[in-house]
Amino acid sequence: MTTRQSYEMKDGSVLETAKHLDMAPENVDYSGATAKTDPKEIALVRKLDWWIMPILWLMYWLNYLVRTFWTRP
């Protein structure tokens, strides 16, 4: 079952939203995202995490170094 809502924007266009009510509530969290159950999706997310997190850590560490040593005379 799907419910639809329409909103009229300031420029005259109409924005339509749909809310699906047929999803099982135990698989949906507070934001409406469903649980990951597909093994391929889980493996992909884990692979991306292992790729992205070291880069973010390096950027954070370099930011710390720049802030620390840039201000010294």
Residue boundaries of the structural domains of the chain: 2-70
User: In 3D, which of 48, 71, 67, 47 has the Cα closest to residue 59?
Assistant: 67
Q: How many CB atoms lie within 10 A of CB 28?
A: 13
Distance CA 4, CA 27 (A): 22
- Cross-strand bridge partners of residue 7: 15
pTM: 0.47
Residue type, 28: V
- The whole-number pLDDT of residue 51 equals 95
What sign results for the dihedral spanned by CA atoms 35, 38, 39, 41?
A: negative
Interval 6-65: pLDDT, tens: 677 777 776 666 565 555 556 677 777 777 778 898 899 999 999 999 999 999 999 999
